[in-house]
Structure 1
């Protein structure tokens, strides 16, 4: 909003925050840093616990109940709903990433430091393993029978199709995260009540509906790793690389698209360079 009361020229009411330092050793001395890591661990644990039990419960009901289970639609809503809840609960503490691909995208966009990114990813992976282990302890009878909700490329699809599905699905998710949490958008449209976790949760739902038949929907390397580690059968590891490479590529594309195209980062940098050169 402009301000001409004192006769000065118009000024911006918003300034982009400075990029996060690549290495920020000061974070190790801050309790908020460790609190954020714990929040990411617990949130990812709870996410995998709900996801695995939902997938296994659906498979069991489909086999034993004439009415069937909740199906792909129900799984999608359960997963997306849980992401909505967890992002809402942890956004103010850690940013509510709950996903190494989201963390990687934020790192590339210089919104978090490398130290924080690596710590988050480690916490997310450990949380996912613990969440799958907890789910297995409650479903010992059916866990192995239904593949432990591990991500695998369906026999009807090629490896390339599976990789493409993971790239596109993660792009949709991370692009939504950038858009929903853009501080400039919040400053400009402050009169519009926007609850960031809601579009993020819906993005997860939509991507699951599209890709469950192809890969079981990864779009989260920690989710895929946790399920593979606890299930620990050869078929869960055969194409496991897809569920790391695909999400990281998708996140990188989303970060570049948001920073360079949507926020015109390159143009702003060039304009700043030209103005400083002219002095």
Structure 2
């Protein structure tokens, strides 16, 4: 919501990719957004490491990894479903046809999107640490740079 005036609110490469597939954003713009999102995530994790090093080490740099007791198939399914829920909610909440019918929808669009992110986190944090934002997962894996996050990063 805060970045809507600058980039249309693009802070997640999965959502940007979905909008690219729906032809709501051009290929060049999508690539630039995704590169910027990943660089921003790397910088953000770098700042956390610099200013909150004790928390950074305690929580594994915020890097995602598959929890013990879960198969890679379960982790992959959790991430696919979680990302689908997020992208579907973004498409639904920002549909221009819906906003023409319900004039209050653009103002309220962040509420269902935020609720979807909250619900997906509740469901997937115990499994994968919730990697529905590939940029955030990538930034944490780059800065933390240990084998476990990279082994599970493809999920």
TM range (shorter): over 0.9
Contact persistence 2:43–2:139 (CA under 8 A): yes
* Equivalences, count: 155
Bigger relative contact order, structure 1 or 2 (CA pairs below 8 A, ≥6 apart): 2
Greater CA deviation, 191-200 or 201-210? Answer: 191-200
Return the alpha-carbon distance in structure 2 between the equivalents of residues 109 and 124 of structure 1: 20
User: Residue 144 of structure 1 aligns to a residue in which SS?
Assistant: helix
Is 1:120 the counterpart of 2:33? The answer is yes
| Structure 1 residues 42-88: Cα deviation after superposition (integer angstroms, max 9, x where no partner) | xxxxxxxxxxxxxxxxxxxxxxxxxxxxxxxxxxxxxxxxxxxxxx2
Return the alpha-carbon distance in structure 2 between the equivalents of residues 106 and 193 of structure 1: 17
Is 1:129 the counterpart of 2:39? The answer is no
Q: How do residues 174-213 of structure 1 correspond to structure 2 at under 5 angstroms?
A: 174-190=87-103, 194-213=107-126
Is 1:221 the counterpart of 2:134? The answer is yes
Return the alpha-carbon distance in structure 1 between the equivalents of residues 117 and 81 of structure 2: 12
Alpha-carbon RMSD: 1.3
* Superposed displacement of residue 107, structure 1: 0.1
Alignment partner, residue 74 of structure 2: 161
Alignment partner, residue 145 of structure 1: 58
Larger Rg: 1
Greater CA deviation, 93-102 or 189-198? Answer: 189-198
* Superposed displacement of residue 194, structure 1: 4.8
User: Residue 89 of structure 1 aligns to a residue in which SS?
Assistant: coil
* Superposed displacement of residue 136, structure 1: 0.6
Return the alpha-carbon distance in structure 2 between the equivalents of residues 141 and 165 of structure 1: 30
Unmatched segments (≥5 aa) in structure 2: none
Unmatched segments (≥5 aa) in structure 1: 1-87, 243-279
Return the alpha-carbon distance in structure 2 between the equivalents of residues 94 and 236 of structure 1: 29
When normalised by structure 2's length, the TM-score is: 0.95
When normalised by structure 1's length, the TM-score is: 0.54
List structure 1 runs of 4+ shifted beyond 6 angstroms.
Answer: none
| Structure 1 residues 127-156: Cα deviation after superposition (integer angstroms, max 9, x where no partner) | 000000000111223422321111001011
Return the alpha-carbon distance in structure 2 between the equivalents of residues 162 and 235 of structure 1: 14
